Amino acid sequence: MRAATKHISKAALSHNLNTLADLAPDSRCMAVIKANAYGSEATQVLDALERADLFGVAAIEEALAIRAAGTRKPIVLLEGAFEAGDVALAADKQFELVIATMQQLEWLLACEHDFSRVWFKLDTGMGRLGFQAHDAKAAMDKLLTRYTQQNVVIMTHFSDSDAPDRSITNGQIARFDDFAAHYPDCEHSLCNSAGVLSFPHAHRHYIRPGIALYGASPFAGHFAEDHDLKPVMTLTTRVLSVKAFKRGEPIGYAQTYRLPADGHIAICEIGYADGYSRFIPS
C-alpha cells in the first residue's frame, strides 16, 4: 500500500471561508473550487462551504460533478463556454457563464434561453481572458440588447494583488471603475484571495477567493496564520529508511545537498507519482 496520503480538513475549510466572508460582510462570496477545489476534492467538501453564496469553476465538467453531488447554489463557469454546445448545456443545468470573448457573446445571444445573471469579463491588465478597453463598450452594448444591467455583473481579475507594489492593482481598479461608470446598475466583482485580503474598497458585490480558502497565504513571506487561515490539506507518509552520513557527504541528484554536520537522513515514501514536485531540490 502506498503510504503517501492527503488529508483534507473540512473544519479548516469552513473556518477559512468564514474568515474571508467576514472580511467582506457586504459582499456575496463565490467560493472558487476549480481544479478539484485546488486538489481538495470539490465534491466531497461542499458541505463545508455552506456559507458560500455561489461556486466558481473553470470547466463545465466540474460544474456537472458539483451539481450531481447535490448543491443547489449557483455555479459560475469562470472561463465561460469553450464551445457553442456548452451554452445550451449551461442553460439546461442553470449554470452561469462568464462572457470574455466576442465568440462567447455571440453564442450567448444565439441561445434561446435567458440566463438570470451574466458575468462580463473586462481585461484591466491581466492580459488573458476578457474584453480590452477598445472593444469592451461595443461588447457590453451588444449584451445589453438582450440583458438589462441588473442582470449583468462586470468582473475583472487581478494580476498582482499579492505584490507589495499596490500601484498595479490600483491601476486595474481605476480602469475597471472608468468602464463600470457607464453602466451604473451592473454589479461588480474584482477580488481574488489577495484582493480580498488587501483591497477592501474593491470587495464590491461579489468576492472570489480561491487559494486562501485552502489555507495558503497568497503573499510571499507570509503564512496562513498571519491571516487567521488554517491549512486544509496535509500530506503524510512513512519513513522507509534512516541512514547515517558524515559532514559534507552528498545527498540526491546532482549532489544538491551536503550535510552541514554528521547526522542522519530519513528516506520517505513519496515520489512524483504522489504529486511530489519535480522542482523541489532532490
- Alpha carbons 169 and 164: distance in angstroms, whole number: 10
Distance CA 59, CA 83 (A): 11
Residue number, 190 or 270, with CB nearest to ligand PLP:
190
Q: Note whether 216 binds ligand PLP by CB under 6 A.
A: no
Hey, which residues between 136 and 195 contact ligand PLP (CB under 6 A)?
Answer: 157, 192-193
**Interface residues for ligand PLP in 231-270 (CB under 6 A)?**
none
Q: CA 57 to CA 31: how far, in whole Å?
A: 9
Asked if 32 touches ligand PLP (CB under 6 A), the answer is yes
Q: For residue 188, what is its C-alpha cell? A: 461588480
The three grid cell numbers given for residue 122, joined into one nine-digit string: 473586462
> Measured between alpha carbons, how far is 77 from 98 in angstroms, rounded to an integer?
6
> Is residue 230 annotated as part of the catalytic site, yes or no?
no
Coil, helix or strand at residue 147: coil
The 33-72 contact track toward ligand PLP, x by CB under 6 A, reads -x--------------------------------------
Instruction: Give 191's Cβ-side CA count (13 Å radius).
Output: 27
Amino acid (one-letter) located at 33: I
Catalytic, out of 10, 34, 93, 272: 34
Q: Which residues contact 165 (CB under 8 A, 6 or more apart)?
A: none
Q: Counting contacts by CB under 6 A, is residue 211 touching ligand PLP?
A: yes
Identify residues 63-122 at the interface with ligand PLP (CB under 6 A): 78
Select the span of 101-109, 177-185, 209-217, 240-248 touching ligand PLP (CB under 6 A). 209-217
Q: How far apart are CA 244 and CA 264, in angstroms?
A: 4
CA 69/CA 55 separation, integer angstroms: 13
Q: Which stretch binds ligand PLP (CB under 6 A): 42-50, 135-143, 202-210, 236-244?
A: 202-210
- Which of 203, 210, 217, 227 touches ligand PLP by CB under 6 A? 210
Q: Confirm whether 34 is a catalytic residue.
A: yes
Here the cell at position 259 is 550535510
By beta-carbon proximity to ligand PLP, the closer residue of 209 and 270 is 209
Q: Which residue ranges make up the site for ligand PLP (CB under 6 A)?
A: 32, 34, 78, 157, 192-193, 208-212, 218
Catalytically active residues are 34, 253
